[in-house]
Structure 1
Amino acid sequence: MSYIDNILFAVLLFVGIGFFVKNVRKLTRNIKLGKDIDRSDNPSARWKNMAMIALGQSKMVKRPIAGVLHIIVYIGFIIINIEVIEIIIDGLFGTHRVLSFLGGFYSVLIGSFEILAFLVLASVIVFWIRRMIVRIPRFWNKEMKGFPKNDALYILYFEMVLMSLFLIMNAADVPFQQADAGNPISQFLVPIFENFNASTLFYIERSAWWIHIAGILVFLNYLYYSKHLHILLAFPNTYFANLNPKGQLTNLESVTKEVKLMMDPTADPFAAQPEGAENEVPEKFGASDVADLNWVQLMNAYTCTECGRCTSACPANLTGKELSPRAIMMKTRDRLEEVGKNIDANKGEFKDDGKQLLNDYITPEELWACTSCNACVEECPVNIDPLSIIVDMRRYLVMEQSAAPQELNSMMSNIENNGAPWQYSQMDRLNWKDEE
């Protein structure tokens, strides 16, 4: 490499990593728009969750075909990218295969990369066939149109190209092939290039090298806009996941305080409030927009892989209802992105745009179709919790807008007036024992 090449590489690396850091900051800012929640309890269980689910892929293999293929791609993605270290050193200092001094270990390393690259390429092709030819139904729900559908394909094509470039780069590297070390896959591509002269092979190898590293940097920065952001967020998402038993709902602190006050005969409801409390805006019950959700729920939205396992297991969706847990997460992320762009456009302040997550993105019909069965939470391979968002938004409908379905309103009125869900007085509750 000439010094010009080194400078061009440094600029490419600086711009690529700089843009990525900028997007990470924006991502962090958007997640922090959510309410605070303490998820620091039981660290040992949290580390175990992260190790087993994010790193160990334990929930992925519940569906064996997709699970095994995903593990191959996942391991390949992590291990093959170790090769980027060598590329960066070579690019910055003008060396060529600088780590080759490792001798036999280097041969084993590159050989492993080539085998993994071939397996990743094969797995990605199978993924494409499952999506586009077999047309597995969960990939073709109505929310999977436009960019969400194309996004999955873009990622598959990215991976196909990157793995192919890696193998071509090795196959066209004459000194590497002549060393006959660490090239178990690329050596089968050598016959394709046997009629090329040395100069042509050099330019093929250099072109594949440059496009490969540029593609990696483009892929890195595409993650922010893609469902594949879960590559980064799956780890914190599983660590900060809810550890409570499924089906255990959280109580609103403000409501709990009121109930305790009502049940305490010694409490003084007119006791002096803390200084300044009279000027505080009362807390909203439930959630109508993304800022009403907690930061873990917002991270859930960004982590969603759009795999559709949640929706394919949802009994409401299976019976033709409007609800799709995947769509809940996608719509939450879309609204959060819209709020983030609003803040960027208004110099760090959110300007009311007349929209909110409820109604403009997610309809009450979707929310009330949920049976609260937790199937979506159980199915998610990275511990995303769509149900928590649904419950918080239903709380808003009930407690802020009194907009529950008539059946629920009748039941709650009966509980309030009769102490039971049924429409008869407490005096008549035991009449059934006198019936013959």
Structure 2
Amino acid sequence: MEYLPNIFFALILIAGLGFFASNVRKLIRNIKLGKDINRSDNQPARWKNMAKIALGQYKMVRRPVSGILHVVVYLGFIIINIEVLEIIIDGLFGTHRVFSGVLGDGLYGFLIGTFEILAALVFIAVVVFWWRRNITQIKRFFNKEMKGWPKNDGNIILYFEMVLMSLFIIMNATDVPFQQAGIGNPISQFVAPWFSGFSPEALHTIEKGAWWIHIIGILIFLNYLYYSKHLHILLAFPNTFYAKLKPKGQLDNLASVTSEVKMMMDPDADPYAAPAEGAEDEVPEKFGASDVTDLNWVQLMNAYTCTECGRCTSACPANLTGKELSPRKIMMDTRDRLEEVGKNIDANGGTFVDDGKQLLNDYISPEELWACTSCNACVQECPVNIDPLSIIMDMRRYLVMEESAAPQELNMMMTNIENNGAPWQYSQQDRLNWKDEE
């Protein structure tokens, strides 16, 4: 019976980490449903981007209030969870504050004291975030796509963080030997008097209860990430590493289309000649994208990384003028459809069974796609380098090249270019008529 708590702790730890590993495998599987793309070039620039944007939060602080608060929560939460290592050792071996004997009172007190200050700062920052989201009601948190689960998810994670930080302080405040030592308790020493009327046995029970709920809460939080927008805590690093390095205005062309155009422009080209060795002349089975499996794996990782912060949508000129387009919704819809496809595969023994649905029309409408001005404001604003424009352009490509479903104005322009060599509806012989006008 003496080791029963340790065995129970080990079982909870194994179950929590095992379920997390299962979700990670599912996440990787879903991302790999995308088409292959090579993003291994220019490694120094990619490492720099990851260090600067994901680790250094460079793009977050462009909006100082939310940016600085996010840095506090990010650093505080990560650093505080270093103590989870001590909790795991104590839980498995039945020790109590095992690092205090290893590190000595001075260093241990400094670390725990730092953790307490950070916990208090994180709690304050989270309360401010909650106030901004629910009381101030900042407009970008109340777009039509932010109803139901997306809205609740934002609050649930804030409540999680409030509870975990409070439990950490309570755990320290009710640890009588720790408080009597007077080291590492810059915050908990002011909370300890709240429990002054309790017996030593009751204090010990409260401390152990806070300890258990704290570690179980951390494991629940870890597994909650997969179902939450806060998956970006993990994916922001690979997402910034594999982000596109080309200039924002440079769009990718299909190799098969480029080859065809070059052949049309070369009067000496032989259309029946065998392709040069290594040439990419294979015509894709589908031009553009109508469903998530037509997108590349980086675009799918983008969808999972989306923080739903709405910075992209708040900067989108189409959205600001009342158009249907919301870049945030594009990413949320892509993620939701990808999850639907993943669940379909799981339910059918590892094989996708056609469900009669696709990303285009069932999730994202052509009206949204054609509202985009391709200005790249969404790409510029995203704090983790997500590229909604690439998805929009691939889906537009499908509409034009597979369904001939471009807007009338665009169809007229392309017809004029084909017939007249210019976007305007007059013949090439009339191009210089303007010079004869008085």
Q: Does 1:351 align with 2:353?
A: yes
Deviation at 1:435, TM superposition (A): 1.1
CA distance in 1, matches of 2:248, 2:312: 15
Q: Name the structure 1 match of 2:35.
A: 35
Distance 1:189 1:57 in 2: 32
Offset from partner CA, 1:302-331 (integer Å, 9 cap, x none) = 000000000000011011110000000000
- 2:279 matched residue in structure 1: none
Higher mean alpha-carbon deviation, 1-10 vs 377-386, is at: 1-10
State the partner residue of 2:419. 417
Q: Which runs of structure 2 are paired with 1:99-114 in the superposition (5 Å)?
A: 99-101=99-101, 102-103=103-104, 104-114=106-116
Kindly state the Cα deviation for residue 248 of structure 1 after the two structures are TM-superposed: 0.6
Does the residue aligned with 2:349 lie in a helix, a strand or coil?
coil
- The alpha carbon displacement at 1:210 in A equals 0.2
Distance 1:434 1:92 in 2: 92
Which of the residues 358, 370, 381 maps onto 2:372?
Answer: 370
**Residues in 2 aligned to 1:308 and 1:78: alpha-carbon distance in whole angstroms:** 24
The CA deviation at 1:185 is 0.2
Counterpart code for 1:58: Y
Alpha-carbon distance between aligned partners in 2 of 1:262 and 1:343, rounded to the nearest angstrom? 43
Structure 1 vs Structure 2: percent identity of aligned residues?
Answer: 79
1:244-259 equivalence runs, <5 A = 244-259=246-261
1:427: Cα distance to partner? 1.1
Q: In structure 2, what residue type is equivalent to 1:177? A: Q
CA distance in 2, matches of 1:282, 1:109: 57
Distance 2:173 2:420 in 1: 80
Q: 2:216 aligns with which of 214, 230, 234?
A: 214
**What aligned pairs does 1:180-199 form with structure 2 within 5 A after superposition?**
180-199=182-201
Cα distance in 2 for residues equivalent to 1:282 and 1:184: 64
Q: How does 1:32-431 map to 2 (within 5 A)?
A: 32-101=32-101, 102-103=103-104, 104-271=106-273, 282-431=284-433
Distance in 2 between residues matched to 1:405 and 1:68, nearest whole Å: 44
Q: Which residue of structure 2 aligns with residue 277 of structure 1?
A: none
Deviation at residue 100 of structure 1 after TM alignment: 0.3
TM superposition shift of 1:377: 0.4
Residues 2 and 94, structure 1, Cα contact 8 Å, conserved in 2: no
The CA distance in 1 between the partners of 2:411 and 2:283, in whole Å, is: 27
The Cα shift of 1:272 comes to 5.3
Aligned residue number for residue 9 of structure 1:
9
Distance (whole Å) between structure 2 residues aligned to residue 293 and residue 264 of structure 1:
32
> For 1:432 and 1:91, how far apart are their aligned partners in 2?
86
CA deviations 1:105-151 (Å, max 9, x no partner) are 10000000000000000000000000000000000000000000000
Residue identity matched to 2:424: W
- Is the 2:229–2:307 Cα contact (8 Å) retained in structure 1? yes
**Alignment partners' CA distance in 1, 2:176 and 2:323:** 60
Secondary structure in structure 2 of the residue aligned to 1:189 = helix
- Quick one: distance in 1 between partners of 2:51 and 2:252? 26
Kept in 1: contact 2:164–2:217 (CA 8 A)? yes
Give 1:265 deviation, angstroms: 3.5
Q: CA deviation at 1:282?
A: 4.5
Question: One-letter code of the match for 1:336?
Answer: L
- 2: distance between equivalents of 1:299 and 1:65? 28
Q: Distance in 2 between matches of 1:16 and 1:80?
A: 19
8 Å Cα contact 1:50/1:236 also seen in 2: yes
In the TM superposition, what is the alpha-carbon distance from 1:77 to its structure 2 partner? 1.3
Q: Which has the higher mean CA deviation after the structures are superposed, 11-20 or 255-264?
A: 255-264
Give the distance between the partners of 1:253 and 1:22, measured in 2 at CA. Answer: 38
* In structure 2, distance between residues paired with 1:81 and 1:206: 18
Aligned residue-pair number: 431
Distance in 2, Cα, partners of 1:272 & 1:82: 61
Q: C-alpha separation between the residues in 2 aligned to 1:322 and 1:43?
A: 38
Q: Equivalents in 2 of 1:204, 1:429: separation in Å? A: 87
State the one-letter code of the partner of 1:403: A
1:350 alignment partner, SS class: coil
Distance of 1:227 and 1:171 partners within structure 2: 33
Q: Cα offset for 1:256?
A: 1.3
TM superposition shift of 1:264: 3.2
C-alpha distance in structure 1 between counterparts of 2:378 and 2:262, whole Å: 33
String of CA shifts for 1:351-401, please: whole Å, max 9, x gaps.
010000000000000000000010000000000000000000000000000
Deviation at 1:211, TM superposition (A): 0.2
Cα distance between partner residues in 2 of 1:174 and 1:258: 78
Q: Given that residues 256 and 283 in structure 2 are in contact (C-alpha distance below 8 angstroms), is that contact kept between their aligned partners in structure 1?
A: no
Query: Which residue type is aligned with residue 191 of structure 1?
Result: P
State the distance in 1 between where 2:95 and 2:396 align.
Answer: 61
User: 3-state SS of the aligned residue for 1:270?
Assistant: coil
Following TM superposition, where does structure 1 have runs of at least 4 consecutive aligned residues deviating by more than 2 angstroms? 260-268, 270-274, 280-283
Tell me the TM-score normalised to structure 1 length: 0.97
**Aligned residue type for 1:432:** W
